[in-house]
Amino acid sequence: MRKRCSLVGMPGSGKSTVGRQLARRLEVPFIDLDQRLEEVLGSSIRQYFEEQGEEAFRKREADLLAELTSRPGDMILSTGGGAVLREDNRANLLAHGGSVMYLRAAPDEIFKRIRHDKARPLLQVTNPLQRLRDLHAERDPLYRAASHYVIETGRPTVNTLVNMIVMQLEMVP
């Protein structure tokens, strides 16, 4: 079974939570792109966004994604919610990210999960639910374009989602 997998999806769709459990189950390294970025940047993503702007952040994100996907071996990689905005990132994930899974969640579900999270820079707006709806409308086609499989995250538990992904990975030659 192939044990190289990248997770894409909206902020709050469960990429980090599911990714950690999946890596544990498969006994492979887990890499959270946002967490690594904060280590590389020496600041929070929110602070970097505020000080340098989104374009500078997206460039650093793309560079780190390219570095991580060029590494050999098995891993579970949780990408940032906006990683798919750049065409080169989408191509990189499909070519080098292993099996790419889109963890698809409805904006209303995501809002319930993350409405109190102040660390997400794109949601620090007057109407975060509308912002999530707008982001979802913009990004859903990009997540689909950057992934091999779509996993609906609506009702299943984390363990069920992990099982669903493992079943997909077992079918990959």
Specify binding-site residues for ATP: 12-17, 120
Quick one: CA dihedral 43, 46, 49, 54, positive or negative?
positive
Task: Give the annotated binding-site residues.
Answer: 12-17, 34, 58, 81, 120, 139
For residue 4, what are the contacts with CB-CB under 8 A and spacing of at least 6? 28, 73, 74, 75, 97, 98, 99
Does residue 5 contact residue 168 with C-beta atoms inside 8 Å?
no
Task: Give the annotated binding-site residues for substrate.
Answer: 34, 58, 81, 139
- CB burial string 86-118: b at 16+ within 10 A, e below: beebbebbeebbbbbbbbbbbbebbbeebeeee
Task: Give the annotated binding-site residues for Mg(2+).
Answer: 16
- Distance separating alpha carbons of residues 97 and 69, to the nearest angstrom: 6
Does residue 120 contact residue 82 with C-beta atoms inside 8 Å?
no
* CA angle 109–106–153, rounded 5-degree value: 80
